[in-house]
Amino acid sequence: MGVLQDSIASLEESTTGIMEAAGKLPEEAVRWKPTPEVWSIHEILCHVDEAIPYWAEEIERVVAKPGVEWGRNHQSEARLAAVAAASQRKTSDVLASIQKGSQKTVAVLRKLKDEDLNIESPSRNPRFATKPMSFVLDHLVVTHLRNHFGQIKRNLEQLSAANPQSAPLQK
C-alpha cells in the first residue's frame, strides 16, 4: 500500500470509530463537558466536521497550484465558528455531515498520486513554515482525526467515572 492508501484507510477507520462511538450515545452524554475548558463530544464532532474537509481542500488547492500558501492558525474564524455554533446543531446532523465530509476527503485523496505529497508550499501559520503536503495529510488530517477520536474516548471515560451508578452510555 502507498502513503495515500494508508492515509485513506486510517481516515476511514477513525471516522467509523467516531461515528460508532458518538452515534450510540444519548444527547446528554454527547453534550457533557468534563470541565468548562474541555470540549464536549458534540463540540469535538463540530470541529471535526469543519476541519477534516478544510485540510483536504487545502491539499487539493496546493497540488493544483504549488507554491500557494496553505493553512490557518488557531484563531481562524471558520474554525472557531464551528465550535461556537455547536449548541445550535443536532448531533445526528453533525454525524451525517462528518460522514459526507469524510467521503469528500477520501475522494480528494483518491485523485492524488503519492508523489503529489512531496509538493512543498509555505504555511500561513509561521509555526509550520514550508512543508510538503505529506505533512498536511499526516499531521492535520490523519493524526488530527485520530487524536480527536482519542479525545472522544477520554470524554467517555471521564463521564463514566463521574457517573458510576448511571445506566450504560448508550441510546
Those residues whose C-beta lies under 8 Å from the C-beta of residue 122, and which sit 6 or more positions away, are 67, 69, 70, 129, 130
Reply yes or no on whether the pLDDT at 153 is more than 80: yes
pLDDT digits (tens, 9 = 90+) for 40-99: 999 999 999 999 999 999 999 999 999 999 998 666 676 667 778 888 999 999 999 999
Among 109-118, 137-146, 147-156, 158-167, name the one with the lowest average pLDDT: 158-167
The residue ranking higher by pLDDT, 157 or 165, is 157
Region 89-113: what's the mean pLDDT? 96
Predicted local confidence at residue 137, as pLDDT: 97
Whether residue 133 contacts residue 114, with contact meaning beta carbons closer than 8 Å, is answered with no
Reply yes or no on whether the pLDDT at 168 is more than 60: no
Predicted local confidence at residue 83, as pLDDT: 78
pTM over 0.85: yes
Q: Which residues pair with 121 in a beta bridge?
A: 131
Reply yes or no on whether the pLDDT at 169 is more than 80: no
Give the separation between CA 15 and CA 3, rounded to whole angstroms. Answer: 18
Instruction: Extract the C-alpha cell encoding 19.
Output: 461515528
Q: Which domains does the chain have, with CATH numbers?
A: 3-162 (1.20.120.450)
Region 106-132: what's the mean pLDDT? 96
State the CB neighbour count (10 A cutoff) for residue 79. Answer: 16
Rounded to a whole number, what is the largest CA-CA distance in the chain?
Answer: 56
pLDDT digits (tens, 9 = 90+) for 5-56: 999 999 999 999 999 999 999 999 999 999 999 999 999 999 999 999 999 9
